Chain A
């Protein structure tokens, strides 16, 4: 019967109550993030970052930057608009409270000398920290591909929502950035 009703609605174009405006809660909106960022917190595409357990302040800043155009991505520009402005902090908090997924890496890479320049803002353990520059995200255990992409984007001015990152990344070679990314992913 239900199927029949649906079919009827489709054929006649009559909007039956089943097509009623869906009730969206903040929980359901945030859950749409998982389709790219992973239903268990681990994205299937390594150019998409792990966000479960990331710093709430960092997530909130990125959402705000996507909305205002300080950070650029077609999909994220839209997705960040799906949360009401007043709910951004709460949405970020919900994501931050999810557990960071278990690392699949088995071997820790040797720490490059340059890692100290990361630790200055991201913390000695590279788990993220608040610094004078603002909120630095957790890097430990993040995907190497994502980290490399972002470091290059900062170096090429394609991502510009952190001045400190732009100048630091421009001072490193591509090989140095790749080495750092590989190490961070192994943590």
Chain B
């Protein structure tokens, strides 16, 4: 019966999708949910707090995708006027992408290689001309940030599982000219979430570091509560977790020299991708919510992050939806204090990276819009994610909707031939995104008809 239902709902959504593709209509409520069968370029979705399915409406499942080489008949699909092509291949484990002021493309290759590479494209910008190793022998390098902000950065900061280091940098360097200097050394190593993204405020005064939780939902990682909770929350932030989760599920701030550690926001289970909106200085997170609650619970999210905000993990999700699993029981004192994220994304999609379109190539009305890479699901009966989505903005704020932009990495219900990780924009305004499944950096261009 459940299977029948799944089929019927997928078919229905597919029909709706065909009708809506390239239109500005929005799939809302339950109709916004879906798996890869219902993806199509142009489909707009909006999920709100009242659309969240109850825990275990569908059973918990494990369904890891198998990454295969690109099948001969497989093609990525995008919206009319856009073209998506590989820019560089052979970049095993390609994760975070950042573009240097001179146009060089930095890419972290976290696992298994543990290095950061630099891609220099040809004049047309459509093919990699040179690929060099900037730094190697690193443990899980992930976030990359140039400092100070502006045209002449002097360092490249790299976030690793246990620390933040920086390498000296001058325009055009494709290999680090000197040794790494450790800037932050007190980031927790293991267990669970290991990515550490790094970003700077536009004025260069603040360094943001994202550290995900040490477990799915802190079933056994909290231990005894702090004796003086008021004091703990004053020294950390409202809703901060303790024990093995201390300084985790946070966005942290430091000075660019790695001093003055503070919790900027708490309860963000895994802010895998950090982005700072240049116009406003607002911090944004692409966040993976918790597992094991069924196919459609709870949504992942992309959001602006409020200083001192508490986003729920582990005791709540997406507002006052309580989770009874964390060690030590519930936190009724936090009810009503959970900040609702801006854009709720299909549960288990795994948004990893976000970037804002600076303009220059994509349609003018899309300037300032955010784009996110959805790495794809494992904790869901039918795969979802594995695509790039556009998140429209109005007056520098996310509207709550998102649109399928590049789809097509799934090859049947078991296999995928790409797993998008991060998004960025080249100097000419083309979008770049990474795929750590087959080690490719793709370029998306636009030509108005």
Which residues of A are interface residues toward B (Cβ below 8 A)?
2-4, 6-7, 9-11, 13, 15, 18-22, 24, 28-29, 32-33, 35-36, 44-45, 66-75, 77-79, 81-82, 85, 158, 160
Contacts and interface: CB of A to CB of B under 8 A. Distances in A.
A78 to B, nearest CB: 4
A69 B9 contact: no
Contacts of B191: 66, 69-73, 77
Given A68-B221, A69-B220, 6 more contacts: A11-B31, A19-B58, A21-B54, A21-B57, A22-B58, A24-B59
Interface residues of B, number: 46
B334 interface: no
B130 interface: no
Contacts of A36: 62, 64
B60 A72 contact: no
A15 to B, nearest CB: 7
Contacts of B62: 32-33, 35-36, 75, 79
Contact of A78 (B12, B66, B216): B216
A27 to B, nearest CB: 12
Contacts of B30: 9-11, 13
Interface in B223-240: none
Contact of B1 (A2, A66, A158): A2
B93 to A, nearest CB: 14
Given A10-B31, A13-B30, A24 B221 contact: no
Interface of B: 1-2, 4-5, 7-9, 12-13, 29-31, 51, 53-64, 66, 190-194, 214-217, 219-221, 244, 290-292, 294, 325, 378-379
Contacts, number: 122
A4 B4 CA distance: 10
Query: Which label, helix, strand, loop or mixed, suits the secondary structure of the B interface?
Result: loop
A67 B222 CA distance: 11
Given A13-B51, A20-B57, A81 B292 contact: yes
Contact of A6 (B5, B219, B221, B292): B5
Contacts of A71: 191
Contacts of A77: 191-192, 215-216
A157 to B, nearest CB: 9
Nearest to A3: B8
B66 A44 contact: yes
